[in-house]
Structure 1
């Protein structure tokens, strides 16, 4: 009789299989990327699991990637390589801005986006607005790398819907960041990817040289048409200058995409970016430098043609979703 192997799923259910190899790892997390594709990794233990008002939340201790945050069944962040995602999310926009002092982060409850923003010497205020108190609370407790960010006096932590929070605020920001979960059907944030939100709520809250940047989902050869190209095309309807860029994130099992936008042009010169990193940033970046930022803006032929030809505009009535479902869909 073989050993029982447990596959832990984010919704709290497990599948158990018989394994004949006694040396085989007995506990795995399994993410369903699509109906015909799954991604799994071995676990040491489950640190936290539960369902908040808005999302399924799981924090895992994995053998390969360290602590891993999973929301609505989707990998959000892994201790071993989250620096790739968060450096790409934060630093290009701040380095392209002439003097970034204020940042508004939509989402970002784990604290990593704020951590990266605080590396810039010019930053005077970071507003982190996350809808889910439970996500923020357990990330603050378990993700030790972000303890300093959460305790930084320049951080203004707000628990609210980012759309409502931006509408209510009178001030403008140099940088607005979309560190949101991927748009899934029944999830809490797909409306923050729409043209109406970008045009009527977000853009008016940017300062004159302001820059908006958002994570934009999977951007691989087989996955970029899920939401990446649509988000890019939607933002093009609102801003004069729009730049897409990508990087491979191992724990996501895919290439990932970001979109940066402004009504001021971007200058991505490798040598000048390196000089800005040296002058503006305290500490050392682990992934991003001038050359890698420049190269990240160059898409392969398949992706670049899709971005060029994309016609879909993201609206509340005509949204695109990646595979998976949020809490509202299951209720």
Structure 2
């Protein structure tokens, strides 16, 4: 869980023998491992019906959005996460026009999707209206995306919304919070959800892509490997990939899945990006994706031997607890 504390720390060397007071954000990553960084200020803190939420102005990473004690996005490096989540699936697709985002409340995923010239409509479905309104107010970088006429914003549970709609989509993007115990999202990582709802809502050549949690050399066994294995039970072609995100203090994972093969080379990916995407990517190009989808020997071996399938009864969680869990324990 994330905590904010103020403490006396050693001053900069120019303050000989002096001290200054510093505020720090601290996130507990594991039982014996914490990650902390200095704050300029606390911009907002509160609780919605579903989640605890904080917006911090951090010294190393700029504005940072924290939900249920887990850092979700930081101003200085969120482009790594969102470019990695969005662009591989969209450039692999022959002509993506209609997209559905599960989650995505901060608006950054919609922003990246709307850079694609082929995209005619993006449905963004987030369960937490307060988080969406909060991000609209505070995250200026996504102001244009929220006002784009191609964006349809829906406040609902993504599962219920996909069940309710008769539309099908070229790409469905899972930009959900991590599966944590007591959080609102873990049921949207299950085999039954992927099989009976997500797959049924994809057009021919459709692609599903989801964020899949920590994917580091030690952390990938929390949820990344079993999300990958679960999607392998549902789709013919499944590609796991990862990238280091400094503000997360770890490598992060995504999984892309389809019943149509992924065929493009690095050069072909670059060409499609140039033809389809407005503006320059800061992080992702063809070679970067080739590298991202070439996992280390240890992680590949682990993914190949993973047998766990994610279900509601056999869910795996990353370290930490959601609001519902904490309230039940109170």
Confirm or deny a common fold (TM above 0.5): yes
Query: Aligned Cα RMSD in Å?
Result: 1.2
Aligned to 2:14: none
User: Is the Cα contact below 8 Å between 1:233 and 1:311 reproduced in 2?
Assistant: yes
| Displacement after TM superposition at 1:145 (Å) | 0.4
In the aligned structure 1, how far is the partner of 2:209 from the partner of 2:20? 43
User: Is the Cα contact below 8 Å between 2:6 and 2:22 reproduced in 1?
Assistant: no
Give the secondary-structure state (helix, strand or coil) at the position aligned to 2:219. coil
Q: 1:122 aligns with which of 118, 121, 139?
A: 118
Aligned to 1:173: 169
Aligned to 1:6: none
Deviations 1:194-234 (A, max 9, x none): 00000001110000110000000000001000000010000
In the aligned structure 2, how far is the partner of 1:123 from the partner of 1:211? 14
- Point out where structure 2 has 5 or more consecutive residues left out of the alignment: 12-17
Aligned to 2:190: 194
Aligned to 1:151: 147
Is 1:284 aligned with 2:303? no
Deviations 1:227-252 (A, max 9, x none): 00010000000000000001000011
Aligned to 2:271: 275
Q: How does 1:90-169 map to 2 (within 5 A)?
A: 90-169=86-165
Q: How many residues align?
A: 321
User: Is the Cα contact below 8 Å between 1:268 and 1:294 reproduced in 2?
Assistant: no
Deviations 1:64-114 (A, max 9, x none): 111100111111000000000000000000000000001100000000000
In the aligned structure 2, how far is the partner of 1:287 from the partner of 1:18? 37
In the aligned structure 2, how far is the partner of 1:20 from the partner of 1:99? 56
- Point out where structure 1 has 5 or more consecutive residues left out of the alignment: 1-8
Aligned to 1:4: none
In the aligned structure 1, how far is the partner of 2:262 from the partner of 2:192? 24
In the aligned structure 2, how far is the partner of 1:124 from the partner of 1:19? 52
| Displacement after TM superposition at 1:14 (Å) | 4.8
Is 1:327 aligned with 2:323? yes
Aligned to 2:58: 62
Aligned to 2:15: none
User: Is the Cα contact below 8 Å between 1:66 and 1:79 reproduced in 2?
Assistant: yes
Aligned to 2:45: 49
In the aligned structure 1, how far is the partner of 2:34 from the partner of 2:131? 25
In the superposition, the TM-score normalised over structure 1's length comes to 0.95
| Displacement after TM superposition at 1:268 (Å) | 3.5
Q: Which moved more, 1:22-31 or 1:308-317?
A: 22-31
In the aligned structure 1, how far is the partner of 2:133 from the partner of 2:219? 32
Is 1:236 aligned with 2:232? yes
In the aligned structure 1, how far is the partner of 2:54 from the partner of 2:276? 36
Give the secondary-structure state (helix, strand or coil) at the position aligned to 1:47. strand
Q: 1:28 aligns with which of 24, 27, 39?
A: 24
Aligned to 2:74: 78
